[in-house]
Amino acid sequence: MGRSEAGKTSLAQVLRGEELHYVKTQYTNADDDMIDSPGEYAESKVFSTGLACFSFEADVVAIVQAADEPFNLFGSSIQGSILRPLIGVITKTDSPYANVPMIRQWMINSGCERIFEVNNITREGAEELLAYLKEDLPRISLEEAKFRQRYGIKEWEDVPTELQKNDR
């Protein structure tokens, strides 16, 4: 998810190993292993609820922001409303107006647990993102899930050492 022109569709093409070809995303595409939404969903208060719904279908949710975006669409700690790992992907790192530290700070504020930089034109950074996406989440038992729920620990987060000795 991310504003229009952020580079979401281009990123999807890079991850699929396709040549870049511009296609304005008119509706949410969920026909392969990526869910690509139109930027307007992130830009509109009304449609943004749709993004929360799409997130339930996903294993991981990415905020995509171009390195030269002048303002941030995403609130702080939006991680709390997404029940999946949230990552950030910074595109257009080749832009003369790129301000990567600022975008990183926005993504940290939103609760992104990993931040990747990908130049969709040169494909620099794509390998690192692909390697992350290929990692499978460990499967956990129902007891483990209940234990984590009791302490508000997400299924993919490390259990703090002071809790590790507790009976599960």
Residue 17 main-chain phi, psi, to 5 deg? 80, 20
- Out of 17, 19, 22, 46, the only residue in the binding site for ligand GTP (CB under 6 A) is 22
Least Cβ distance, residue 63 to Mg ion (angstroms): 14
What whole-number distance in Å separates Cα of residue 36 and Cα of residue 133?
15
Centre a 10 Å sphere on the Cβ of residue 152 and count the other Cβ atoms it contains. Answer: 7
Stretch that binds Mg ion, among 9-17, 58-66, 85-93, 115-123 (CB under 5 A): 9-17
Q: What Rg value do the Cα atoms of the chain yield, rounded?
A: 17
**Contact present, 109 and 77 (Cβ < 8 Å):** yes
- Out of 24, 134, 139, 165, the only residue in the binding site for ligand GTP (CB under 6 A) is 24
Told to check if 103 binds ligand GTP by CB under 6 A, we report: no
Residue 57 burial (10 A CB sphere; 0-12, 13-18, 19+): exposed
Told to check if 125 binds ligand GTP by CB under 6 A, we report: no
Told to check if 37 binds Mg ion by CB under 5 A, we report: no
Told to check if 48 binds ligand GTP by CB under 6 A, we report: no
CA distance between the termini of the chain: 36
Task: Select 127 or 157, whichever has its Cβ closest to ligand GTP.
Answer: 127
Told to check if 149 binds ligand GTP by CB under 6 A, we report: no
Residue span 62-91 as binding mask against ligand GTP, x where in contact by CB under 6 A, dash where not: -----------------------------x
**Contact present, 50 and 74 (Cβ < 8 Å):** no
- Out of 9, 91, 119, 120, the only residue in the binding site for Mg ion (CB under 5 A) is 9
List alpha helices for 88-141, DSSP H.
Answer: 100-110, 126-134
Binding site for ligand GTP (CB under 6 A): 2, 4-10, 20, 22, 24-25, 38-39, 91-92, 94-95, 119-121
